[in-house]
Every structure is written in C-alpha cells, then in structure tokens.
C-alpha cells in the first residue's frame, strides 16, 4: 500500500524526478481535467471582472451618530444593517470555509475507518485545525468570544496568522509522511490521535495569544506596494508546497486526495496575492475576493475525497460484476459435474457440500465487511448531523417566542399610536406588514416541522445502525422495522402504499443490528418486486385480473408465550415455482448482472437460523409474495 521513498539529493534532482514520474500515474489518481480548469477559471474570474468595473467590496456607509438617535425606528435598523454589511459578508464567507473544513475532516476519518490509511486523517486534521482557527478569527471579529484588541488590528492580524497556520499545518502534515514510513503506524488510531492533539495544541496556542493580547502589530499599509506584508509568508509557503512538497507527496502516495492538495495551491496562492498586494482596508474588493477563494481552497481537498469515494464505488461494482461472472462459471461447472453423477456419486456429494460451505463463508465475509463499513459510516454521519440539528431545533423555539413578542409589540404600537406618520405608513405598505404577521409564524412552524423530520431520520439511522448493540439485547422489533421503513421511505414512490398491522409483541432477545439487516433486505426486495410489477402492468394490463395497486403489508403477532411471527407481503407479480426452492441459496439472484449479488436472502436465512428461528417464502404468480419470519423470544443457539 505504501511506496518507498524516492531518492534524490538536490533540488534539480527532485524536479527531474517529478517530471519523469508525473506521466506514470493513471487517471485513477488524477482529478478530471474539467474540474482543474473550473477551479482555475473560478480563481481568475474575480480579477477579470475587476478589470471591467466590478467591485466586490462591502464598504461601510458614513453615519452621523449625533443624528442617529433621531431617526425613525425602521431607518435605525436599516442604517445599522448597512453599516455592518461588510461584517455580515465576512462572517458568511468565513463560516462557509469552516464548514468545508469540517466535512473534509469527517470524510477523511470515514476513509480511515474503511482503508486504515493514516495519511488521509492526519492531513484532514491539519485542515480542520486551520479551519478552527478561521472560526476563531470570525468569532473574535463578531465579538462572539472575548478578545481585547479592536477589529482594525484583530481581523487582519488573526487572518494573517490563520493563513500562516493553514499553510504550515498542511505542509507539516504532508511532510511527516515524506520523512517517516507510515506502514509502521498502519491502522494506528493512537498515531492519528497523537498528531491530532499536537495540531490542536498548536492551534489553541495561537488562538489564546491573539485573544489576550491588547496590542497587536500593524499589518495593513494601504499606501505601500505590499499592502499586507504578513501575507507574503503564507504565499511563499503555498508556492513551495505547490511546486515541490505536494507533488513529492503525490508521487509517494498517489491518490485523488493527494492530487487535490496540489490543485488547492491555486486558490490558496491567488488568495494570498489579493491580500498581500491588493487589500488596503477591511471588507474591500480584494479582501472579499480572498475570503471567497479561501472557500474554494477548502473545497478542492473535499472534492478529492468525494471523487475518491466515487472511484472506489466503481471499483466495487466492477468487482461484483467479476464475482458474478465467476459464480456463473462455477454454476456451469457444477452442472457439468452433475452430468457425470452416475460415476462420481459420493465424490459429487462431498464436492457439493464443500462448494456450499465456501459460498456461505464467502457470502458471510462479504456481508460482514460491507455492513461493518456501512454501519460505521451511517452511525458517524447520524452523530455528526444530530448536533447541528439539535442546535437549530433548540433555537427555533426561541425564534418563535421572539417573533411572537415582536409582533405583539408592533400590534401594541398600532393600538397606542393609531395614526403613524406618512413615512411609516408608506413603509408598512411597502413591506406588506399584514402578510408578514400572517406568514412569519407559518414559516417558523414549517421550519420546525422540517427540523422534526430531520431528527426523526437521524434517530432512524442511529437505531438502524445500533453500533452500540453488538451483543445480545432485548429489543422491540417494531422499532427496527419502523427505522427500516424510514430509511427506505424514498423507495415508496409510484403509488406504493405501506400498511403496518402490528400486534402486541413482547421484547425479543437478539442481535438488533443483524435483524435490522433482515428487515432491510426483505422490505427492499418487496419494493423491487412492486416496481417491476408496476412496469409490467403498465406494459400489459390485461394480464392482471383487476387494476393493480402496489401494496406492501407488514404483520406482526405473538404465536404463543415463546414465539413471534413477522410477515412481509407484497401483491406483485410473484415468483415462479421453478426458482422458489433456490431463493435462499448464496449468490442466486433473479436480478440483472450488476444490480444484485444474491447475498441478501441468503444472509437473511443465516441470521434467522442463527437466532434459532425459521424463514419461509410463499409466492403465487400475479398474486404476490409473502415471507414469514418466526423467531423465539430467547435465541436458541
């Protein structure tokens, strides 16, 4: 997995090595050319627009503070917003960059959980720490955290330090693996944790120094050629990184992510050019362009990880296709062996048993690997989504109360001062105050409904993954079925209706995550059958005795004090009798190549059998299919 370190003793030798090796890597480790050109075009477009008269600055308006208190209430609000619009724009741009850094780190650690490659999370942590410093820069500028110095010095100084830290942390994170051999720490969570702590301490130290300093050095010189000398240092580091350090890392560890680091030096370098040689004051044209391009610089490594995931998915599809081809060849070989059964009857029986055991083992290994990665990713994403959703949901209540108070205050003003001035009357008519009073509560209610929906989806994902329930537990089977239906909600289209007929079930002692996979496979197969039946009915409705209305029905009931039964039925076109006997065999599938591996029902059979239960299938053509799962309240191994 890891390459040996390239040998070169001088700068010309390094350049020569890069030139000779660059063409040896396939497109599998390079970002699409159109993406690279798009990034370059985005970076140079603001400068081109400047040349034809566009100005992206958000300059503060002049305010006569002595007359400020005499202005009407609405003009006071507008004046304050116009005065602070530069700060608002700065906050939006900075938080966008910070969010990009967060998502990059999340994907980097998800990649580490799957591939166990420590290079990606270490670099992801470096980018995250730089993003955290950007977040501090924004919070301090907006006075959401305590800082001593004024914004005139604080914003440019913390910007310069954040950019320097961004460049140094990324270069250090990359250089670590140019010096050491990462295979020594392969799969080492301790190494990743140690490096993350060191980077975090460094970022916190810089943040602490900036926050407690009451005097900060002057960083802006509007009348000089270099308006921000402190930004020259990061510019030089990005140039060196883009020309030598990142290409060396890419040659040693070729991947879409390491290639994206090289491309990210384009927006990073142009960002520093705008700041070092252009920005002369806060929120001017070059200041805002630089903050926008910094978002692009964070998004490029994120795009590299996304492309890497897409490429890995394509490789898995190709592997599945090859696996299906191999399985078909095995089936043909088995048929040939059966042809000689009269001469090799004991031998064939032994070979058949070995083959079935191999298929079961192979299917179990494939399923375990896929479900482990899927469960980790689903649980991690659900956890990461849950915190911001709770933040939004918790603040909606306050927003609703504030809105009610403000509307009540406006109504009180209308009662106490029933004859407003012409200016206020004109503004009320312009903003359509009656519509706002009617629509704003509805809008907040709609947002609360949406937040509730997201919370229910996240809860379903966490219940489905059940990463903390790998051992036997007593659970309510209805919770697992409901979570599965929530996850598969997007599949219930084209008029498919789901009917739940739940009985009064006692808790069942089981492996919850394994049974959730059973419900997922059975319900998804039923929905697939209903989709195919809908298409068949549309093509030839005369085959059906009555109009076809796709329906999925889930029934649960207690058989006696020791057993429960779960039935999942659809009213699709059914399964022919000739293949019903093979439906639970490993790798047997009726789906086209590339759309199914034949592992789903086989896995269901193994899981139910593992719990001491039974699974049976009953199907009639044009009448539907019913799968019945019988489980004991206590597993019988």
Q: What is the mean pLDDT of each run of 10 residues along the chain (637 residues)?
A: 42 48 55 90 93 84 57 59 68 79 76 67 73 72 65 75 80 79 58 65 66 72 89 92 90 85 92 91 87 88 81 76 80 74 64 64 52 52 63 72 80 81 82 80 75 67 54 86 82 82 92 84 88 87 83 93 93 81 63 50 83 89 90 81
- 194 backbone dihedrals φ, ψ, rounded to 5°: -60, -50
According to the model, what pLDDT value does residue 3 have? Answer: 44
DSSP 222: T
- 421 backbone dihedrals φ, ψ, rounded to 5°: -70, 165
Q: What does the chain come to in residues?
A: 637
Question: Is domain 86-319 given the CATH code 1.10.1060 in the classification?
Answer: no
Whole-prediction pTM: 0.46
CA 158 – CA 594 distance, rounded (Å): 53
**CA 502 and chain centroid, separation:** 34
- Report which of 513, 572, 524, 569 is spatially closest to residue 544, judged by C-alpha positions: 572
| Helix 85-115, helix 285-339: angle, nearest 10 | 20
- Report which of 132, 160, 156, 129 is spatially closest to residue 145, judged by C-alpha positions: 132
Q: What is the largest CA-CA distance in the chain?
A: 109
According to the model, what pLDDT value does residue 381 have? Answer: 59
CA 571 – CA 601 distance, rounded (Å): 19
Task: Confirm if 167 and 268 have CB atoms less than 8 A apart.
Answer: yes
Query: Following CA atoms 189, 194, 199, 205 in sequence, which dihedral angle do they give, to the nearest 10 degrees?
Result: 140
Query: Following CA atoms 604, 496, 482, 471 in sequence, which dihedral angle do they give, to the nearest 10 degrees?
Result: 20
Rg (CA), the chain: 32
CA 7 – CA 297 distance, rounded (Å): 31
Question: Domain coordinates of the chain in residue numbers?
Answer: 86-319, 340-465, 473-632
Q: Which two tokens stand for residue 215?
A: 């005097």
Q: Which two tokens stand for residue 169?
A: 């942390």
- Report which of 336, 331, 332, 337 is spatially closest to residue 356, judged by C-alpha positions: 331
Type and span of the H or E element at 474: strand 473-475
| Helix 285-339, helix 256-277: angle, nearest 10 | 180
According to the model, what pLDDT value does residue 628 have? Answer: 94
- Report which of 467, 459, 463 is spatially closest to residue 481, judged by C-alpha positions: 463
For the stretch 79-86, contacts whose Cβ atoms lie closer than 8 Å and that sit 24 or more positions apart, written own/partner, are 84/60, 85/58, 85/60, 86/57, 86/58, 86/59, 86/60, 86/282, 86/283
Q: How many CB atoms lie within 10 A of CB 438?
A: 11
- DSSP-assigned beta bridge partners for residue 497: 551
- Report which of 299, 265, 258, 267 is spatially closest to residue 31, judged by C-alpha positions: 258
Domain 473-632 is of which CATH architecture? 2-Layer Sandwich (3.30)
- Report which of 212, 196, 199 is spatially closest to residue 158, judged by C-alpha positions: 212
Q: How many CB atoms lie within 10 A of CB 67?
A: 8
């Amino acid at each position: 997995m890891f390459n040996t370190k390239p040998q070169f003793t001088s700068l010309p030798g390094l350049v020569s090595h890069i030139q000779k090796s660059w063409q040896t890597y396939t497109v599998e480790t390079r970002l699409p050319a159109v993406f690279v050109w798009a990034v370059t075009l985005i970076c140079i477009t603001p400068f081109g627009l400047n040349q034809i008269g566009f100005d992206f600055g958000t300059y503060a308006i002049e305010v006569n503070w002595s007359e400020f208190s005499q202005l009407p209430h609405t003009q006071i609000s507008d004046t304050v917003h116009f005065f602070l619009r530069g700060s608002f724009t700065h906050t939006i741009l900075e938080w966008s960059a910070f969010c990009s850094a967060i998502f990059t780190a999340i994907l980097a650690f998800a990649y580490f959980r799957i591939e166990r490659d420590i290079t990606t999370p270490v670099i992801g942590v470096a980018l995250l720490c730089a993003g955290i410093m950007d977040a501090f820069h924004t919070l301090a500028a907006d006075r959401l955290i305590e800082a001593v110095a004024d914004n005139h010095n604080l914003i440019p100084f913390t910007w310069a330090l954040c950019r320097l830290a961004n460049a140094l942390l990324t270069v250090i994170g990359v250089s670590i693996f140019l010096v050491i051999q990462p295979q020594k720490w392969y799969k080492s969570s301790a190494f990743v944790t140690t490096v993350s702590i060191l980077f975090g301490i460094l970022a916190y130290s810089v943040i602490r120094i900036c926050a407690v300093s009451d005097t900060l050095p002057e960083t802006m010189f509007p009348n000089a050629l270099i308006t921000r000398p402190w930004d020259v240092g990061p510019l030089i580091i990005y140039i060196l990184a883009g020309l030598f350090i990142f290409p060396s890392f890419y040659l040693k560890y070729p991947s879409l992510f390491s290639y994206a680091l090289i491309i990210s030096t384009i927006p990073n370098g142009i960002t520093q050019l705008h700041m070092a040689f252009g920005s002369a004051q806060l929120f001017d044209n070059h200041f805002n362009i630089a903050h926008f391009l910094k978002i692009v610089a964070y998004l490029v490594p994120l795009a590299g990880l996304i492309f890497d995931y897409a490429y890995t998915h394509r490789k898995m599809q190709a592997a599945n296709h090859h696996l299906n081809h191999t399985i078909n060849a095995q089936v043909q070989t088995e048929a040939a062996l059966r042809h000689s059964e009269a001469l090799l009857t004991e031998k064939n029986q032994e070979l058949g048993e070995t083959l079935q055991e191999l298929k079961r083992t192979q299917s179990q290994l494939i399923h375990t690997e896929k479900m482990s990665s899927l469960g980790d990713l689903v649980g991690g994403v659900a956890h990461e989504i849950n915190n911001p959703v709770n933040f939004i949901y918790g603040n909606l209540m306050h927003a609703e109360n504030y809105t009610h108070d403000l509307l009540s205050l406006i109504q009180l003003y209308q009662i106490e001062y029933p004859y407003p001035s012409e200016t206020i009357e004109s503004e009320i008519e312009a903003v359509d105050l009656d519509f706002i009073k009617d629509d704003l509560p509805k809008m907040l209610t709609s947002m609360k409904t949406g937040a509730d929906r997201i919370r229910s989806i996240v809860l379903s994902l966490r219940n489905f993954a059940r990463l903390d329930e790998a051992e036997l537990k007593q659970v309510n089977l209805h919770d697992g079925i409901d979570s599965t239906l929530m996850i598969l909600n997007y599949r219930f289209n084209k008029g498919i209706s789901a009917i739940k007929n739940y009985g009064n079930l006692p808790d069942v002692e089981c492996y919850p995550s394994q049974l959730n996979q059973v419900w997922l496979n059975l319900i998804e197969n039923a929905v697939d059958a209903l989709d195919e039946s809908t298409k068949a009915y549309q093509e030839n409705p005369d085959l059906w005795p009555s109009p076809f209305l796709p329906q999925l029905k889930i029934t649960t009931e207690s058989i006696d004090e020791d057993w429960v039964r779960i039935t999942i039925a659809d009213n699709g076109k059914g399964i022919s009798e000739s293949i019903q006997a093979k439906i639970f065999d490993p790798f047997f599938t009726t789906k086209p190549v590339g759309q199914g591996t034949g592992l789903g029902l086989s896995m269901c059979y193994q899981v139910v059998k593992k719990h001491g239960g039974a699974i049976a299938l009953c199907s009639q053509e044009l009448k539907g299919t019913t799968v019945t799962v019988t489980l004991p309240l206590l597993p019988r191994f």
